[in-house]
């Protein structure tokens, strides 16, 4: 018979005599004990068979993972060298002849397991952590190997935490939840009282994420998200990890750093003077895992409101909530250079326009003040009555 080579492990047996005869007879541990259909606890094994064409290669697989090779002798007997156990798991051994159409022997099964439990990995938030790592999550998952179909118990030191059975392939998964901030020394124990090595990690207290939740002007008036202000000096506020630093940004431009109050967990930070434009304010934690706040958008608009409005009688300036016996007063103030204002008295805006000079100064008279009457006087921009100055309140006395 002419031999041809095939290395396809997924090829199905055909109806030829060779396919029927290729056989896995034994799978022996290092002591020569046949482990087919059994669980064994050694580090190596060999596969023995017959039914091959003489002097031909046989590839052996665990499902589709190639484990090794053998060469048949003159009567078709074959065996592999000792093969190392690569993983502790259930094995489904296949032998594929490398001649003709690639005859496949009927598969044989065994389980490679450990008498001493192992912790293969510890997952925090679905990601592996290393021994002695620190985490902030309050749960972890332990994955490992143990005696198949027997209980595995997880301990912190000598304190039992959780028990789960290993499956038929000797694999277990134990979730530890509700972990409080502390250092943990985790081990697992099998039903035979054998223990794994210890895996150490520390759960840290939850970190306070940084926020930016309030913006006010210098008078303490809140500027809501998405709104506008004519004030150019503002104060941002938020929360963060006590005693740690944060940095305030407009987009990618830094507006300075602040320290979170160690007692309240809040911070305040002044920003300005700001130029008229749109802003997207954020606070960035300068400590690990503190994150970045949600954006706080606002707009600083050009301020065309009159300012420094004052009231005088013939003798002196009338202070706010003051009084005068005069029947007339002079009202003066400032606005944009060469701008114009109108005078607002007791919520009524007059029709007359008062022109400002090239320094923005303006003045006018209010006459016929009535005894016993209280007046509230301010100035508004001639082209925008919502742009209003400070107001002065006074009363005409006898």
Average pLDDT over residues 212-225: 95
Domains of the chain: 17-112 (2.60.40.10), 118-203 (2.60.40.10), 214-300 (2.60.40.10), 307-396 (2.60.40.10)
Query: Are the beta carbons of 188 and 196 closer than 8 angstroms?
Result: yes
Q: Which residue has the higher pLDDT, 304 or 52?
A: 52
pLDDT at 184: 98
Interior CA angle at 275 toward 269 and 281, to 5°?
45
Please state, for a pLDDT cut of 90, what percent of the chain lies above it: 89
pLDDT at 302: 82
**Cα within 13 Å of Cα(30), Cβ side:** 7
The answer, yes or no, to whether residue 6 has pLDDT greater than 70, is: no
Q: Label residue 17 by pLDDT band (50, 70, 90).
A: very low
> CB neighbours of 52 closer than 8 A, spacing ≥ 6?
18, 21, 22, 58, 72, 76, 77, 78, 97
Average pLDDT over residues 181-187: 98
Beta strands in 336-383 (DSSP E): 340-345, 348-349, 354-355, 361-366, 374-381
The answer, yes or no, to whether residue 19 has pLDDT greater than 70, is: no
Q: Label residue 304 by pLDDT band (50, 70, 90).
A: confident
The answer, yes or no, to whether residue 93 has pLDDT greater than 60, is: yes
Average pLDDT over residues 318-344: 96
pLDDT at 4: 28
pLDDT at 303: 79
Q: Label residue 230 by pLDDT band (50, 70, 90).
A: confident
The answer, yes or no, to whether residue 16 has pLDDT greater than 50, is: no
Structure tokens at 24: 């896995």
End-to-end CA distance of the chain: 136
pLDDT at 206: 87
The answer, yes or no, to whether residue 290 has pLDDT greater than 90, is: yes
pLDDT at 12: 39
Q: Which tens digits make up the pLDDT trace of 353-390?
A: 999 999 999 999 999 999 999 999 999 999 988 889 99
Q: Label residue 8 by pLDDT band (50, 70, 90).
A: very low
DSSP-derived pairing of the beta strands 78-79 and 118-124: unpaired
Query: Are the beta carbons of 242 and 261 closer than 8 angstroms?
Result: yes
Map residue 98 onto helix, strand or coil. Answer: coil
Q: Label residue 15 by pLDDT band (50, 70, 90).
A: very low
pLDDT at 34: 98
Q: Which tens digits make up the pLDDT trace of 267-285?
A: 999 999 999 999 999 999 9
The answer, yes or no, to whether residue 7 has pLDDT greater than 60, is: no
Q: Which tens digits make up the pLDDT trace of 21-35?
A: 999 999 999 999 999
Q: Label residue 138 by pLDDT band (50, 70, 90).
A: very high
């Amino acid at each position: 018979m002419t031999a041809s080579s095939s290395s396809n492990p997924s090829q199905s047996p055909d109806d030829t005599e060779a396919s029927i005869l290729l056989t896995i007879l034994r799978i022996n541990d290092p002591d020569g004990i046949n482990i087919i259909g059994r669980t064994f606890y050694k580090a190596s094994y060999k596969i023995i068979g017959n039914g091959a064409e003489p002097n031909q290669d046989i590839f052996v697989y665990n499902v589709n993972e190639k484990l090794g090779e053998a060469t048949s002798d003159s009567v078709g007997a074959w065996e592999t060298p000792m093969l190392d156990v690569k993983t502790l798991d259930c094995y489904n051994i296949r032998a594929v002849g490398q001649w003709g159409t690639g005859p496949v022997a009927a598969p044989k099964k065994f389980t490679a397991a450990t008498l001493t439990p192992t912790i293969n990995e510890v997952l925090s938030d679905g990601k592996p952590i290393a021994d002695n790592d620190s985490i902030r999550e309050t749960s972890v998952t332990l994955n490992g190997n143990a005696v198949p179909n027997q209980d595995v118990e997880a301990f912190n030191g000598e304190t039992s935490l959780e028990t789960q059975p290993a499956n038929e392939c000797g694999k277990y998964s134990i979730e530890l939840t509700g972990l409080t901030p502390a250092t943990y020394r985790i081990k697992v124990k099998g039903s035979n009282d054998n223990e794994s090595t210890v895996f150490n990690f520390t759960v840290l207290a939850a970190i306070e994420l940084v926020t930016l939740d309030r913006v006010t002007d210098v008078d303490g008036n809140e500027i809501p998200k998405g709104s506008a202000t004519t004030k150019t000096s503002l104060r941002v506020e938020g929360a963060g990890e006590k005693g740690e630093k944060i940095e305030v940004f407009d987009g990618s431009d830094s507006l300075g750093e602040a320290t979170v109050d160690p007692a309240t967990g809040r911070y305040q930070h002044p920003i300005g003077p700001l130029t008229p434009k749109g802003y997207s304010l954020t606070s960035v934690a300068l400590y690990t895992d503190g994150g970045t706040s949600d954006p706080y958008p606002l707009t600083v608009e050009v301020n065309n409101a009159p300012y420094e409005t004052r009231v005088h009688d013939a003798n002196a300036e009338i202070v706010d909530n003051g009084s005068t016996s005069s029947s007339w007063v002079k009202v003066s103030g400032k606005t944009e250079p060469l701008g114009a204002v109108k005078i607002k008295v007791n919520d009524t805006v007059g029709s007359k326009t008062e022109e400002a000079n090239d320094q923005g100064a303006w003045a006018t008279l209010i006459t016929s003040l009535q005894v016993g009457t209280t007046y509230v006087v301010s100035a508004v921009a001639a082209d925008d009555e919502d742009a209003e100055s400070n107001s002065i309140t006074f009363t005409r006395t006898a």
